[in-house]
Amino acid sequence: MIESIELAKCTGCGICDVVCPADVIHMEPLPATEELPGLYKVTSLPVIKFREHCITCFSCEIFCPEGIVDVHPSVKNRPRPW
């Protein structure tokens, strides 16, 4: 399951969002300043929006050009054994 994206090093390229086959990561605009709500930064950054639906395919980690996505090989999201 996806753990984190090191946003300080993120260039906002959006590849992690594009390659995700489970709609987990969304590129979203960030507020530019606290003084003026509604004003956003030019570059959007990835948000882990639906972590619980991550299928642990590692696509975001494999294709991130900056190597800043961390997917943990947790399997807790798998169907439970019967």
Partner 1 sequence: MARFEGELIDTDVLVIGAGAGGLLAALSAKRHGPPGTRVTLVDSWLIGRTGHTAFSNAWTIVVLPDDDLDGILHEIVAGNDGIADQELVRQSLMDSHARLKDFEAMGMTFARDEHGAYKRRPTRGLDLARVMYPEGGGLEFAWKLRRALEAEGVQLIDRMFVTGLMRGGSDRVVGAVGINSRTGAFHVLRARSTIVATNAITFRSGFVRDITGTGTLLAYRAGASLRNAEFSYVRPGTPKFYFEGITFAIQEGAQWVNAKGEPFMQAYEPEWGDEADVPRIARAMAMEQRKGNAPLYLDMSAIPEHLRDYFIQSKVRWMDNFFRKLGDEAKTDMFGKTPYYALNQMTKMGIRTGADCRSDVPGLLSSGLAQAGCANHFAGFHIGLCVGNGWIAGRSAIEDLDRLSQPRLDQGEVQALFAETMAPLQPSAAAESDRILRDLQAVMFAYDTGVLKREDRLRQAYERVTALSDSFKTIAAPHTHELVRMKETEAMLLAAQFILGASLYRTESRLSHFREDHDARDDDNWLVWVDIAEGGNGPAFTKTPIPTPYCSVTLPRRRPSRLAARQSIGGV
Task: Number of residues interacting with partner 1: please give it, by CB under 8 A.
Answer: 28
Secondary structure letter of residue 46 according to DSSP:
E
26-65 residues in contact with partner 1 (CB under 8 A) are 26, 49-50, 52-53, 55-59, 61-63
User: Tokens at residue 66, please?
Assistant: 């900056």
* C-beta of 41 vs 53, nearer to partner 1: 53
72 binds partner 1 (CB under 8 A): yes
DSSP run (H or E) holding 78: none
Residues 29-56 as b/e (b if ≥16 CB within 10 A, e otherwise) read eeeeeeeeeeeeeeebebebeeeeebeb
Task: Kindly list the residues in this chain that would bind partner 1 in the complex (CB under 8 A).
Answer: 18-23, 26, 49-50, 52-53, 55-59, 61-63, 71-73, 75, 78-82
